[in-house]
């Protein structure tokens, strides 16, 4: 393929991260998180978010999401989430596995967002009763799987409803930086200030090699988290290397630079395809109703991307990486702008 728009997972790591990795590779360091890099995480993330936090690195987004959810949800519990969330569609039942069999309650929601009304519907449908799974957590995705973002007030409304009903709030932030870049807000504004209790803070897609962090804003919820992480095989022995990635990502500002770069290019593609947009472009993903012929034509020109929607819907998902070249984007914009031809 000439042009990679399949996923930000296909991108390389950014120089800040690679430099940090090389610098961390000196001599001996204590294992399992007792190294100096890992020991700095809580402090650096506290500065980043503007309040004290507990931070636990893991190496995949699925690990971050599902160990976090296991800290919030008992085996007979349920997790209210959007029907297109990653935990519903892309983790092969990892949430069920990690929680010991809790249930996801997938809700439909416009533009990929959960709302207070949807949460209330899920709660009404699963009342307090020994016969029913018990809603224990809400999991939202920021930016969403539709490339949109939650604004602080929408989040706060949802989280307030959750808390009032005794549920905790988890945020899947695999593309958290992209969301913050769009919103132009402080990272705390769309997390703990809006009621998020635990965040899966993603760095992998946006410039790291394999580095995600489970960030507890409500540090009381940490409880037995460390046992659960270990038991799932997610306590890294040479943790310094993951921690060094996370520190570099945050401290150098790479998180925001990378996200802004991807978002800006996504906007250009969104403009080029504006007549065919399925959802507003608010992060680094663009969803287009192109038709099957146009999709085939784009692929024939070397553009790699995934289908979206049901088979035959003619919909496409375009993801822009932090290191996407301008040339890639220009080529795609041109292709989208070209008058449909017979072959297209």
Task: Give residues 127-166 in contact with its own copies (rule: CB under 8 A).
Answer: 130-134
Among 99-107, 138-146, 188-196, 248-256, which window interacts with its own copies (CB under 8 A)? 99-107
Q: Which among 276, 324, 283, 280 is positioned nearest to 304, based on CA atoms?
A: 324
The single residue among 141, 191, 204, 267 that binds its own copies, judged by CB under 8 A, is 204
Which residue carries 């992060």 as its tokens? 283
Smallest separation (angstroms) from its own copies to the CB of 11: 6
Residue 341's CB: how many other CB atoms inside 10 A? 9
Q: Under rule CB under 8 A, which residues in 314-333 are in contact with its own copies?
A: 321
> Is 62 near its own copies (CB under 8 A)?
yes
Smallest separation (angstroms) from its own copies to the CB of 196: 21
> Is 13 near its own copies (CB under 8 A)?
yes
Smallest separation (angstroms) from its own copies to the CB of 326: 15
Among 159-167, 179-187, 220-228, 285-293, which window interacts with its own copies (CB under 8 A)? 220-228
Q: Which of 163, 238 has the CB closer to its own copies?
A: 238
> Is 176 near its own copies (CB under 8 A)?
no
Smallest separation (angstroms) from its own copies to the CB of 309: 11
> Is 222 near its own copies (CB under 8 A)?
no
Size of the site for its own copies (CB under 8 A): 75
Return the bridge partners of 308, or none: 315
The single residue among 36, 110, 227, 274 that binds its own copies, judged by CB under 8 A, is 227
Q: Which of 79, 190 has the CB closer to its own copies?
A: 79
Among 74-82, 110-118, 147-155, 185-193, which window interacts with its own copies (CB under 8 A)? 74-82
Which residue carries 């989040």 as its tokens? 155
Q: Under rule CB under 8 A, which residues in 240-279 are in contact with its own copies?
A: 241-242
Largest CA distance in the chain: 63
Smallest separation (angstroms) from its own copies to the CB of 284: 14
Give the Cα separation of 91 and 132 in Å (integer).
24
Smallest separation (angstroms) from its own copies to the CB of 339: 29
> Is 100 near its own copies (CB under 8 A)?
yes
Distances (CA, A) of 308 to 227, 289, 290, 334, 336: 38, 9, 11, 21, 17
> Is 230 near its own copies (CB under 8 A)?
yes
Among 39-47, 54-62, 137-145, 156-164, which window interacts with its own copies (CB under 8 A)? 54-62
Among 155-163, 185-193, 226-234, 255-263, which window interacts with its own copies (CB under 8 A)? 226-234
> Is 310 near its own copies (CB under 8 A)?
yes
Give the Cα separation of 303 and 320 in Å (integer).
12
Q: Which of 194, 211 has the CB closer to its own copies?
A: 211
> Is 92 near its own copies (CB under 8 A)?
yes
Beta strand pairing status for 134-141 and 168-173?
A: parallel
Q: What tokens appear for 311 in the block?
A: 């088979």
Cis peptide before 279 (omega within 30 of 0): no
């Amino acid at each position: 393929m000439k042009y990679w728009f399949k996923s930000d997972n296909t991108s390389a790591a950014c120089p800040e991260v690679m430099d940090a990795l090389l610098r961390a590779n000196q001599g001996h360091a204590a294992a399992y998180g007792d190294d100096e890099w890992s020991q700095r995480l809580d402090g650096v993330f506290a500065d980043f978010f503007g309040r004290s936090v507990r931070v636990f690195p893991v190496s995949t987004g699925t690990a971050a999401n599902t160990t976090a959810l296991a800290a919030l949800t008992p085996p007979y519990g349920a997790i209210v989430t959007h029907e297109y969330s990653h935990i519903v569609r892309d983790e092969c039942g990892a949430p069920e596995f990690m929680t010991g069999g809790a249930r996801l309650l997938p809700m439909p929601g416009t533009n990929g967002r959960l709302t207070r009304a949807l949460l209330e519907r899920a709660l009404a449908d699963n009342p307090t009763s020994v016969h029913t799974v018990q809603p224990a957590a809400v999991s939202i995705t920021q930016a969403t799987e539709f490339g949109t973002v939650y604004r602080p007030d929408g989040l706060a409304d949802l989280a307030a409803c959750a808390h009032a009903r005794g549920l905790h709030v988890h945020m899947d932030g695999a593309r958290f930086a992209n969301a913050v870049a769009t919103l132009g807000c402080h990272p705390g504004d769309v997390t703990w200030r809006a009621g998020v209790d635990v965040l899966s803070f993603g760095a992998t897609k946006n410039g790291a090699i394999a580095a995600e962090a489970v960030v507890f804003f409500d540090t009381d919820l940490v409880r037995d988290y460390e046992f659960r992480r270990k038991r799932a095989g997610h306590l890294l022995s040479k943790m310094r290397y993951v921690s060094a990635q996370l520190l570099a990502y945050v401290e150098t500002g790479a998180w925001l630079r990378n996200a802004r770069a991807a978002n800006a290019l996504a906007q250009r593609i969104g403009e080029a395809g504006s007549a065919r947009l399925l959802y507003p472009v608010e992060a680094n993903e663009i969803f287009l109703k192109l038709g099957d012929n146009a999709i085939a034509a784009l692929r024939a020109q070397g553009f790699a991307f995934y289908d979206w929607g049901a088979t035959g819907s003619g919909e496409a998902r375009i993801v822009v990486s932090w290191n996407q070249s301008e040339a890639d984007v220009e080529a795609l914009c041109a292709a989208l702008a070209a008058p449909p031809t017979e072959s297209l």
